[in-house]
């Protein structure tokens, strides 16, 4: 659960002017209400301007030139990595590897650590709530290496059945991979306890932090997870950049996954020597400008404070549960607000979620509809799709309130069609 004791309240109206897109109308007279933040957040001017400035004033490839532009680009790129390191309290900057997103980071671990360490009969423990990005790479690894996949089941209200760990965690368990916050249910998982119990049987832990790092303070040293992955585009930054953090001894021992330029120390015609961290996992030209934009996003979040962000999202989530609970026929997936982050997925009786999203869009309300890259989770709850409202620091209580009338309008539209 998030803690927000003695945290000054966040006023979204102070920050909304920083986000140009939030002032637009999606059609004449219909202002945008952006409630699709779990998919991707919007960008403040400070992030946009940092990237424009890089292209207009400093751009050059990094770590390859000695001219002025190359040195300036190096400095900005390296500074972004240092900001990431401080943001998650990593012991060293070399342990923070730039990737192209959460999915990319998970695949690096599956291909590098997984192929080198997983043997036939070894077990990989996942959960029933995982995003496809934290399912498919392990399915592929299990197929390549002959490993066995096991899954922590869910309660009816969308929480992990922790008592199942007594039988699921065994000496055969080599890796536990789980999301810290569900992108569908909003459930905040007990990562610290799972890490402790996994380590007790000798297993490593990878944490998918895509839905937590942007919203709550993350300390990788206190968490003690072996790997953490997250994406820039879910935390006010640009798409195309993410971060893989790993414990130093693990990253040092892992072979490079992608080969090419930048990840080498020396190349001969018939062999090569890999470079040092983080270079050996950053083959080719990295996401230079996107990383610099991510650094600017971290600066923005640091100024506001993640404690304030978490407290504000709790208020929005509580209001959403109240508003949706007053609409007859709405069913919310996941636990009560005190156990979840700012994500509320729901169904509406006799109306497909895509139709719900389409009618909400007529009122300017942007939500997500579908299986949210979590098909097994939806199967667990007997639904093919849900509509999802998700919140961030610039959303207001008034925007959440608009969900109620818009859903009542959806009911009128589709129930009238059936008559």
List residues bridging with 151 in a β-sheet. 126
Three-state secondary-structure class, residue 408:
helix
Residues 57, 59, 60: CA angle, nearest 5 degrees: 140
Which residue is catalytic, options 54, 85, 96, 373?
A: 373
Stated as kind and residue range, the H or E segment containing 273 is strand 272-274
- The residue ranges of DSSP E strands in 11-147, in sequence order, are 25-27, 30-31, 33-34, 96-99, 123-127
Radius of gyration of the chain (CA): 22
**54 given a catalytic annotation:** no
If you ran DSSP here, which 8-state letter would residue 154 be given?
A: B
Q: Which two tokens stand for residue 110?
A: 């599956």
Rounded distance between C-alpha atoms, residue 361 and residue 147, angstroms: 45
Three-state secondary-structure class, residue 414:
helix
Find out whether 201 and 169 touch, Cβ atoms under 8 Å. Answer: yes
| Among 280, 276, 244, residue whose Cα is nearest residue 263 | 280
Handedness of CA 33, 35, 36, 41 (dihedral sign): positive
Find out whether 386 and 345 touch, Cβ atoms under 8 Å. Answer: yes
Q: Which two tokens stand for residue 142?
A: 């299990």
Find out whether 360 and 327 touch, Cβ atoms under 8 Å. Answer: no
Catalytic residue positions, numbered? 373
């Amino acid at each position: 659960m998030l803690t927000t004791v003695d945290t000054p309240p966040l006023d979204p109206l102070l920050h909304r002017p920083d986000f140009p897109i939030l002032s637009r109308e999606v059609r004449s007279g219909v202002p945008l209400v952006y409630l699709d933040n779990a998919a991707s957040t919007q960008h403040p001017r400070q992030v946009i301007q940092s990237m424009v400035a890089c292209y207009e004033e400093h751009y050059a490839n990094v770590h390859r030139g000695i001219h002025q532009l190359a040195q300036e680009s190096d400095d900005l790129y390296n500074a972004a990595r240092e900001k990431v390191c401080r943001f998650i309290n990593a012991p060293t900057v070399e342990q923070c590897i730039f990737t192209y997103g959460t999915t990319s980071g998970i695949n690096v671990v599956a291909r590098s650590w997984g192929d080198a360490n997983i043997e036939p009969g070894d077990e990989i423990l996942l959960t029933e709530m995982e995003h496809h990005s934290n399912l498919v790479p392990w399915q592929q690894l299990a197929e390549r290496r002959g490993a066995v996949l096991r899954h922590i089941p869910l309660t009816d209200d969308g929480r992990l059945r922790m008592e199942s760990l007594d039988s699921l965690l065994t000496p055969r368990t080599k890796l536990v991979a789980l999301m810290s916050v569900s992108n569908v249910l909003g459930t905040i998982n007990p990562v610290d306890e799972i890490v402790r119990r996994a380590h007790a049987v000798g297993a490593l832990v990878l944490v998918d932090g895509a839905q937590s790092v942007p919203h709550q303070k993350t300390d990788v040293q206190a968490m003690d997870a072996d790997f953490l992955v997250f994406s820039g585009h879910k935390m006010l930054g640009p798409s195309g950049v993410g971060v893989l953090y790993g414990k130093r001894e693990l990253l040092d021992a892992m072979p490079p996954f992608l080969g090419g330029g930048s990840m080498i120390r020396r190349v001969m015609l018939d062999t090569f020597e890999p470079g040092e961290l983080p270079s050996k996992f950053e083959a080719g030209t990295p996401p230079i400008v996107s990383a610099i934009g991510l650094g600017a996003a971290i600066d923005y979040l640091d100024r506001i404070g993640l404690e304030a962000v978490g407290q504000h999202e709790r208020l929005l989530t509580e209001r959403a549960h109240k508003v949706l609970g007053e609409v007859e026929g709405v069913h919310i997936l996941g636990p009560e607000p005190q156990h979840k982050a700012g994500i509320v997925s729901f169904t509406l009786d006799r109306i497909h979620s895509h139709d719900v999203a389409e009618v909400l869009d007529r009122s300017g309300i942007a939500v997500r509809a579908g299986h949210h890259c979590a098909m097994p989770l939806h199967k667990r709850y007997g639904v093919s799709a849900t509509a999802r409202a998700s919140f961030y620091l610039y959303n207001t209580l008034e925007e959440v309130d608009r969900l109620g009338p818009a859903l009542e309008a959806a009911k009128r539209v589709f129930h009238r069609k059936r008559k």
